Structure 1
Amino acid sequence: MTVYAVALSKGGSTKTTTAAELAATLAAAGRRVLAIDLDEQGNLTTRLGVTEDAEVSGVAADVLIGDASAEEAAFPSPTVPGVDILCGTFDLEEISTKPEIMTALRDYLPSLATVWDDVVIDTPPALGTLTLGALAAADVIVSSVSCETESYEQLPRLEEVIQNRIAKRLRPGQALHWIIPTKHDGRRLLDREVVQTLQELYPGRVTSTVREAVAVKDSYTAGMPVGVYYPGSPIAEDYKAALASVVAGRVNNWTN
């Protein structure tokens, strides 16, 4: 099992869009995927097709505090075959101050390796307990960074938290593994400068860029990852290329 966490303490950075595309990419490769929505707004839940009237047996918060197992609470995505989701709800806010949340996923997820092949965790736009718990549980940390100054300026803070709060005790050796530049328009000077800066500061960890597209909003309304909603579209192909780097080493391990 590989656990992926998508994180950045900046709203609107396309973090949830990227998490959904990653889950769909893994499922398309034949992997059994558990998506965990740790954002109380439930945007990943919505993007994977789960509506408010869905009859779920439990939510992500229930699993984190041990009131339900992941097998009991996981709800099959109506739009992405092969993906089950632990829904994000406002219950997450109520449990976010509980200290045991910090290590809950790290300790619990390995027991699910016979049920799911991969886990994709979408985190809230803050570096609170829920995000720290996801970072501690992750084998691969991905940051989706829109080509805006205020977005990439959050990366040093994320790395600092990983190094000082996670890597020392909670997950020895933990690091930020991949950065995906999104909302990219090669015609804009700022976008080119952001990508260049990222490549200089994080050599070998920056994927190819993902363009900005209206299809992202349309696919959210439809309750689908953009690659499912509009396969073959330019942005879907962008995500396919970027995520190929993220899963490449893991894909090799699947066949060994």
Structure 2
Amino acid sequence: MTTYTVALPKGGVGKSTTAAELARELGRRGRRVLAIDLDQQGNFTTRLGVGRETEVEYVAADVLRGDAAPEDAAVPSAYAGVDVLAGTHDLIDVEQAPPADLVTSLRDYLPGMGKWDDVVVDTPPSVGGLTEAGLAAADVVVVPVESAVEAYDQIHRLERVIEGRIGRRVRPGLQIDWLVPTMHDSRRLLDREVVEQLEKRYPGKVTSPVSEAVAVKDAYTAKMPVTEYAPTSKVAADYAAVTRTILGGAS
């Protein structure tokens, strides 16, 4: 089992979109995938076609509190092979009054599960306990970053969390594995410069950029990954290239 955790302490950079594309691509490859949404906004959940009409007895917050097992709480997504632990507003309560084992809960539980081959975790735009829980469980850390100057600051914030408590005591050796430049427009000098600087700072860890496109928002409204909503679009091709890079020969 491989756990892919998508993280950055900033909203609106494409974390949920990237997580959905990873989960969907793993499902296409015949893998059994558990998608865990740790963001109370539930965008990852929505991207995978789980909405108000879906019958959900337990959610991600129940699992983190120890009130339900993932096997009982996960619901089928709209896509073959992908099950979802839904992210809801209940996660606010978990963040504010965390169980004692919040940070290590997923790390300790997930390896013992036999129902799924892989896990994809989407984290909130913060560096609190929920993000730490996602990072502590990670085998692969994926960081979507907007092609903007402030991207560097957000990456450094995440690195401080990884190198601090998580990397020293909870998940030794943890590091950022991939950076995904998002909302990219190659016609803008700044966008090109950001990618160049990322490639210098993190050689071999930067995927090809993902174009800025209205289809990304439209796909969310349609409760679909971009590659399902607009499969012939440039942004879909961009995401397909990103997932190929991150997953490599996984099958």
Normalised TM-score (structure 1): 0.95
Show the 5 A alignment for 1:48-197.
Answer: 48-78=48-78, 80-96=79-95, 97-98=97-98, 99-112=100-113, 114-197=114-197
Q: Answer with 131-140 or 52-61: which moved more.
A: 52-61
Letter of the 1:179 partner, please give it.
L
* TM-aligned CA deviation for residue 242 of structure 1: 1.4
What does residue 29 of structure 1 align with?
29
Q: Distance in 2 between matches of 1:165 and 1:14?
A: 26
Letter of the 2:117 partner, please give it.
D
Q: Distance in 1 between matches of 2:71 and 2:57?
A: 10
Normalised TM-score (structure 2): 0.96
Q: Distance in 1 between matches of 2:106 and 2:136?
A: 8
List 4+ stretches of structure 1 deviating above 3 A.
Answer: none
* TM-aligned CA deviation for residue 146 of structure 1: 1.1
Q: Distance in 1 between matches of 2:168 and 2:232?
A: 43
Q: Distance in 2 between matches of 1:122 and 1:148?
A: 22
Stretches of structure 1 that go unaligned for 5 or more consecutive residues are none
Stretches of structure 2 that go unaligned for 5 or more consecutive residues are none
Letter of the 1:81 partner, please give it.
A
Is the 1:15–1:122 Cα contact (8 Å) retained in structure 2? yes
* TM-aligned CA deviation for residue 164 of structure 1: 1.1
Aligned length: 249
Instruction: Tell me how large the CA RMSD over aligned residues is.
Output: 1.1
Letter of the 1:150 partner, please give it.
E
Q: Deviations along 1:41-95, whole A, 9 cap, x unmatched?
A: 11111111111232112100111111111111101112x2211000001111111
* TM-aligned CA deviation for residue 244 of structure 1: 1.3
What does residue 208 of structure 1 align with?
208
* TM-aligned CA deviation for residue 103 of structure 1: 0.5
Q: Distance in 2 between matches of 1:61 and 1:38?
A: 8
Structure 1 residue matching 2:159: 3-state secondary structure: helix
Structure 1 residue matching 2:221: 3-state secondary structure: helix
